[in-house]
Structure formats: C-alpha cells, structure tokens
Amino acid sequence: RQATYAAMREVEPRTLDGTRIMVMMNAGLRDDVAMLNLTGADGIGLYRTEFQFLVSATLPARERQTRLYREVLEAAGNRPVVFRTVDIGGDKALPYLTHDDGDGEENPAMGWRALRVALEREGLLKAQARALLEAAAGRTLNVMFPMVSEPWEFDAAKAVFDHQLEFLRKQKRMLPEAIRYGAMLEVPALAEVLDILAPKLSFLSIGTNDLTQFLFAADRANPKLAERYDWVSPSILRFLRRVVTGVEGHPIDVTVCGEMGGRRLEALALLGLGIRRLSITPVSVGPLKELVRQVNLPELSEAMAGWLARPPANMRVALAEWAAARGI
C-alpha cells in the first residue's frame, strides 16, 4: 500500500480539458494528518474536531484543544485545513455532556446534536472558538458549522467567534491572518434558503452522508436500508445540481465532504454536476486523482445534463457505460 500511495502522491488532479480539481481529505485524529504527505491531498477539507471529545473521558480543556489544532495546522503547512466545530450529541453522545431532558432520543441523528448542542451550551462553543482562533494566530483559519438548518444558526455561531476575536484583539494577542466561515449543507431545508445564507459564507461544504439520509428518510447506519437508495439516484443528483446552481454568482467554494465523493461513479457524477472540490477518506485520494485525469468535463457535464433532464432507467448503469466507453 505504501508503494501505491507513493506512486499516486505526485499525480496532479487535472482533467483532460485542463481543469484543476481540488482533492482534499477528511481527518479527525492528530495522526491522520500524516496522510496528507502520503497521499498528496490538497488539504484537509473536513477536520472532525469531535474526535478529540469522543476519545476523552472528560471535556477536553481549552488548552488541549488549542494544542491539537496548532499541531494539525503546523503539520499541514501551507495546505488548508477546514475545522468543523463539534458534531457531538445524538448517536455520538458523551457521558459528560447530558441533555437536560434526560434519557435518550428516539431519533438521535435528527436530535440534539452538532450546532444545536453548541448553541445551547455556549461555553462549549466559546472554548472551541477561542482555541481555534489562538491556534491559527498568523495563519488562515477555516471554520465550518455542522447541521446548519437555518441561516440564523450560522449567524449565532459566527457571533460566538466574533466575540472571542474581539476579546483577543483587546488583549493585543496575535490573531489569525484571515478567517473564513462556512456552513455544512446536510439538512435539506438549508438548500431552500441558500440565497439568504450564501452572501454570509466563504464556503459551503455538502455533507452527503447526512444529507442523503435525510433526503431519503433512510438511516445511514442501518444496514437493512443500505440497498434502499443509491447515491447516484436522480433525486440526489438533481438536488445537488440545484445547490450548485443556487450558489452560482456568489464567490464561494463548494465542496462535497461526504463519503460519496470517494467512490468512482459517484465522483464522476459529482464532477458532471459542477462540483470541483472533494474531501474524502485518505485511501480514496490517489484513485480519485487518477480518475480525474481521465475525464473530459464538458463532455461529462453535457451527459449529466441529459441524464438529469430525462433520467435513464438506471443512472448507475448509464454512468458505468459512459465511463467504460471512454476506457475510464
């Protein structure tokens, strides 16, 4: 495997027509960052900060958070890292973080989790904001908020960061050189208000793991439902296409950071929809870079437009045949 990584590390993900695709990786542990050099990924498109919370017996002290974020940024060097604020609660319940209403939830995936927890337990988000701002002193800080359902939630979370930034400024502490705020699109409702949200954002990151479970009302963790829907189904692809066109004209990056982007035909579909930035599991980085190099984007986009207008009986088969006909 090491040899394979080495072979693909230097491969530049540029399509046949010359478009540079950003291929980034998802991470969550300090040691994951080593995969950046091994895979040659363009950065960390999703750093799941909740991992540190999940492996701790108690709430990680702010200083520990700062240290971790600084180490990650240092290890990443010039490559961007997008830190996602904690996505805990729900099925990632922590013993030291109890819900006032007590005992368990019927539907934890759509329960008290992520930003919903962070906005209610403001101390948690404040500490994390401070840790991220301090860790990124003199650098660019990319922050994104998970499970944003309405624009006001983004505003409220950003206000916590603004407040901490003001505090550090008054203390004459070194600040980040730039701060970019983004939202995850994983709650379908958010797609309907993108015109309101987009002007506030530097970037949007589509979390297709949660997004598709909510679109299809199909639990992503239930193996009984694994065959029930397909990531390359017309409903998902049409939905994603609307998101891409919905933010056109706004100067924001759109990334897909769900596992979907790490799979061959799914990645082709995303490229065909106009997605130019993917963040995926490290093992998929090399194969995706190789795939990108075989694609003619205008041709793929045209095929995708046709499929979306009149979906073939089986989109997966249509994509596979399209790829096979081109030796991909």
Least CB distance to ligand PEP at residue 323 (A):
24
Tell me the residue number closest to ligand PEP, measured at CB.
Answer: 207
Interface region with Mg ion, contact rule CB under 5 A, candidates 116-124, 185-193, 261-269, 293-301? 185-193
Verify binding: residue 207, Mg ion, rule CB under 5 A. yes
Least CB distance to ligand PEP at residue 26 (A):
7
Interface region with Mg ion, contact rule CB under 5 A, candidates 125-133, 191-199, 210-218, 312-320? 210-218
Our CB check for Mg ion shows the closer of 71 and 91 to be 91
Verify binding: residue 134, Mg ion, rule CB under 5 A. no
Our CB check for ligand PEP shows the closer of 46 and 72 to be 46
Our CB check for ligand PEP shows the closer of 134 and 210 to be 210
Residue 134 interacts, among Mg ion, ligand PEP, none and using kind-specific CB cut-offs from 5 to 8 Å, with: none
Our CB check for Mg ion shows the closer of 15 and 284 to be 284
Residues 20-59, one symbol each (x = binds Mg ion by CB under 5 A, - = not), give ----------------------------------------
Question: Which parts of this chain interact with ligand PEP (CB under 6 A)?
Answer: 46, 48, 87, 186, 207-210, 257-258
C-alpha 179/C-alpha 202 separation (Å) is: 9
Assess contact for 166 and 200: CB atoms under 8 A. Answer: no
Least CB distance to ligand PEP at residue 95 (A):
20
Our CB check for Mg ion shows the closer of 134 and 210 to be 210
Residue 191 interacts, among Mg ion, ligand PEP, none and using kind-specific CB cut-offs from 5 to 8 Å, with: none
Verify binding: residue 210, Mg ion, rule CB under 5 A. yes
C-alpha 66/C-alpha 52 separation (Å) is: 11
Our CB check for ligand PEP shows the closer of 39 and 213 to be 213
Our CB check for ligand PEP shows the closer of 202 and 209 to be 209
Least CB distance to ligand PEP at residue 308 (A):
22
**Which among 61, 62, 66, 119 has a CA at the least distance from the CA of 89?**
119
C-alpha 257/C-alpha 154 separation (Å) is: 19
Residue 164 interacts, among ligand PEP, Mg ion, none and using kind-specific CB cut-offs from 5 to 8 Å, with: none
Our CB check for ligand PEP shows the closer of 26 and 164 to be 26
C-alpha 177/C-alpha 174 separation (Å) is: 9
Binding site residues, Mg ion, CB under 5 A: 186, 207, 210
